[in-house]
Structure formats: C-alpha cells, structure tokens
Amino acid sequence: KKTIYDDIIQAKQNGQKLLAVLIDPDKIDINHIPEFFKKVHKSIVTHVFVGGSTDAERKMENVVAIIKQHTKLPVLIFPGSHEQITEMADGILFLSLLSGRNPKYLIEQQVQSVVKLINTSLEIIPTGYILIDGGIETAVQRVSETQPISQKNHAEILHTALAGQFSGKKLVYLEAGSGAQKAIKPEIIQEVSTKLQIPLIVGGGIRSKNQLNVAFNAGADLIVIGTAFEQNEAFLNELKR
Ligand code: 1GP
C-alpha cells in the first residue's frame, strides 16, 4: 500500500507542490468543520495537519475524528506534545526540535509517545523540526523554551537541516512559528532545498498567494498555512484548484 510519505516523494519527483492547512484544535469551532472543508476541497490544499503548541481543552481526538468524517485528504498529527497523539489520524509528523538544545523536545517527548504509538497503525514520519526567527516570540519558542535560529545565520540553518537528513529524518520542516511576522526568506529556502535530498516543509507567517508562490519557487515542497486561513477563509477561495 502506498504511504502518505510515498506520495510526498512522488509529488517532489513530479515537481507537484503540496499545501497543508494547519488546524489548531484550540481555535477551531467544531460546528464549522463541515463548511470549512467544503472550501478546502475546492482549493489546492492537499494535506491536513492538526495540532498546536498547546491543547488546553484536550480537543485533539474529537477534532481529528470530526475532520476525518469530512475529508479524504491525508490527516497528519502535528503534535506540540505526546498528549496530542490520537490514532484517529492517518499519520504523525514525528518531530524532533533540532534547532533547540532542550532534551525534552529532542528525545523525551518522543520516548513518552511510544506507549501510544506502539499499538496504532498511524504512519510515523520522522521529521527534523527547525525553528527560525519569525520576528515575534512564537508559541513554539515559549513552550519548548528554546531559541530560534536567526534568519541571518544561513550556515546554521543549512547545517541543522542536513544534520537532520544525515540522522535519518524523512522530512525537514523550516518553521517561522505560527503567526510569524516574517516568513522564512526565499534565499534560505533555496539554499536548504538545493542541498537537501529529502522533502522540505516550510511554514509560519505565510498569508498571501504571492508569498506562497515565492516559497514554492524557492524550493519548498510542502507549505503549511494556519493563521491566514483562520483569520480569513476567503483566502481559500483565492487558492482555487
Ligand atoms: C505553524 O507553520 C505553521 O506551525 C503555520 O504557521 O499559522 O503562521 O500559517 P501560520
């Protein structure tokens, strides 16, 4: 059976660009999910990520279950902590926060998640997660108690991405943080994507079709948008298939 990852690889080989909508279980109104997905299905969105730095009300499992009733798009957990793991999804981005030096988010959360993962059929995708300065203090920074890498420090970003690849990650995710003021610069995306062999995810602060195209053209294989869709659903209409 073809996996979600197989499809991401195939898209990369075919030069087909992928777009994920990020749904934060803390923010989404459950009653609105059916209507929201009608719009999603008319757009170029190919993947659904669900997760957030916090899941204060523990809505994750319920939100994923309802999303699964309303879409056939692959649904991946994008967890802020092991507590957000639910087998209602299709897969999980198994993240290591490689930009930080906090063992809790490099390995401890991962160890704690095994008890849940061991008996599920979730597709587990090892992902090197790299937090880059997006101009404001983001939730990832606050929750993980780590510093983002400066956008000026191209070498550090590239070396971190490649260290991820060399340690066996299947994806690298360059993250400016949800609601970032400054999205990741195209120069950085270009530099990393040319040297990296595995697919590159880019997210944080992308709010316009132009920014999306700039990031795709610079070499992002999959782009993640959360805040812009939360604040303005009409943006989905601008991204019609
Ligand atoms: C955050 O990269 C994602 O983890 C998306 O960020 O909410 O700014 O689109 P935005």
| CB 84 less than 6 A from any atom of ligand 1 | no
**158 within domain boundaries:** yes
Nearest CA to ligand 1 atom 1: 178
Give domain status of residue 102, yes or no. yes
What distance separates the 2 farthest-apart alpha carbons in the chain? Answer: 45
Q: Which residues fall within 8 angstroms of residue 131, CB to CB, at 6 or more apart?
A: 97, 99, 100, 138, 140, 141, 144, 146, 148, 149, 175, 177
d(CA 210, CA 77): 27
Question: Is 183 within a domain?
Answer: yes
* pLDDT-derived band at 55, boundaries 50, 70, 90: confident
According to the annotation, is 80 in a ligand binding site?
A: no
> 30 to each of 18, 27, 56, 241, how far by Cα in Å?
25, 9, 15, 25
Quote the tokens at residue 231: 């604040």
- Residue whose CB lies within 8 A of the most ligand 1 atoms, among 175, 231, 235, for a mutation test: 175
pLDDT band at 52 (very low <50, low <70, confident <90, very high): confident
Q: How far is CA 73 from CA 81, 176, 238, in A?
A: 23, 25, 19
Binding site membership of 67 for ligand 1 (Cβ less than 6 Å): no
Q: How far is the CA of 207 from the centre of ligand 1 (A)?
A: 10
| Structural domains of the chain, count | 1
What pTM, to 2 d.p., does this model score?
0.98
Report whether 45 contacts 19 (CB < 8 A): yes
What is the residue range of 70's domain? Answer: 19-238
pLDDT digits (tens, 9 = 90+) for 214-236: 999 999 999 999 999 999 999 99
Q: Is 9 among the domain residues? A: no
In a domain, 71, yes or no: yes
CA 85 to the chain's CA centroid? 15
Helical segments of 71-153, H only: 103, 109-117, 139-144
State the pLDDT at residue 53: 83
The CATH number covering residue 218 comes to 3.20.20.390
Domain assignment of residue 4, yes or no: no
> Which of 27, 140, 206 most suits a substitution to test ligand 1, by most atoms within 8 Å of the C-beta?
206
* pLDDT for 56 beyond 80: no
> What average pLDDT does the segment 93-98 reach?
98
147-152: Cβ within 8 A, 24+ apart: 147/99, 147/100, 148/99, 148/177, 149/99, 151/182, 151/184, 151/185, 151/188
Q: What is the pLDDT of residues 125-176, one digit of tens each?
A: 999 999 999 999 999 999 999 999 999 999 999 999 999 999 999 999 999 9
Residue 12 lies in a domain: no
**Domain contains 28:** yes
Atom 4 of ligand 1, nearest CA residue = 178
Confirm or reject: Cβ of 204 under 6 Å from ligand 1. yes
